[in-house]
Amino acid sequence: MRKTIIATAVSALMGFASATAALAGGHSKDIVDIAAGAGSFNTLVAAVTAAGLVDTLKGDGPFTVFAPTDEAFAKLPEGTVETLLKPENKDQLVAILTYHVVPGKVMSTDLVDDMKATTVQGGMITIDLDNGVMVDAANVVTADIEAENGVIHVIDAVILPK
C-alpha cells in the first residue's frame, strides 16, 4: 500500500515536472492539456469532457483551477463519479466542476488567510492558511502550476458547493 502511494506521488510529480518543463521551454499548454498530460487527473478530464467544459477551459481565461486528483475523486462515496458522468446529471456535474474554478489567475502568493473567492459556479470558497493551504475542506498539495490561460492548484479532495 505504502509503495503504491509513493509510486502514485512520484508519477504525479513527474507529470507536473514535464508540464513545468514545457512551460519553461516556451511551449506553454492550456489548463486542459496540462491536466490531461499529468496522468493523475484522468477522472477530472473525463468529468470536464462529460460536462462539455473542455472548450471553456481551453479558452483565453485566465482561470484558477483547484484540480482534484484521481485519488481525491476516489474518496467520494462509491458510485458517485459514475452517477455524475451520466448525461441526465450534466447540470449537477457542471455545478461541481465550476465550483473548482475561480475567474482570474490567483497564485499562491496572492492568498490571504480566510479570504473568500467567488467561483464560476457562483458559490464562495474559503482559503485557510492556518495549517498549510486549504480550499474549503481540501488541502492544496501542489500550487502554482502555470498554464497559458491560468493556473492550477492541485487539491486532495473534491470540494462541493454548499
Superfamily assignment of 2-155 in CATH?
FAS1 domain (2.30.180.10)
24-80 pLDDT, tens per residue?
334 489 999 999 999 999 999 999 999 999 999 999 999 999 999 999 999 999 999
Q: Answer yes or no: is pLDDT of 87 > 60.
A: yes
8 A C-beta contact, residue 151 and residue 111:
no
Q: Across the chain, what does the average pLDDT equal?
A: 86
**What pLDDT is attached to residue 9?**
34
**What pLDDT is attached to residue 162?**
85
89-107 pLDDT, tens per residue?
999 999 999 999 999 999 9
103-147 pLDDT, tens per residue?
999 999 999 999 999 999 999 999 999 989 999 999 999 999 999
8 A C-beta contact, residue 128 and residue 113:
yes
Q: How confident is the model at residue 151 (pLDDT cuts 50, 70, 90)?
A: very high
8 A C-beta contact, residue 142 and residue 16:
yes
**What pLDDT is attached to residue 145?**
96
Region of residue 136 (left: phi > 0; alpha: psi -120 to 50; beta: else): left
Q: What's the length of the chain?
A: 162
Please report, for the chain, the start and end positions of each structural domain, with discontinuous segments joined by +: 2-155
Q: Answer yes or no: is pLDDT of 20 > 70.
A: no
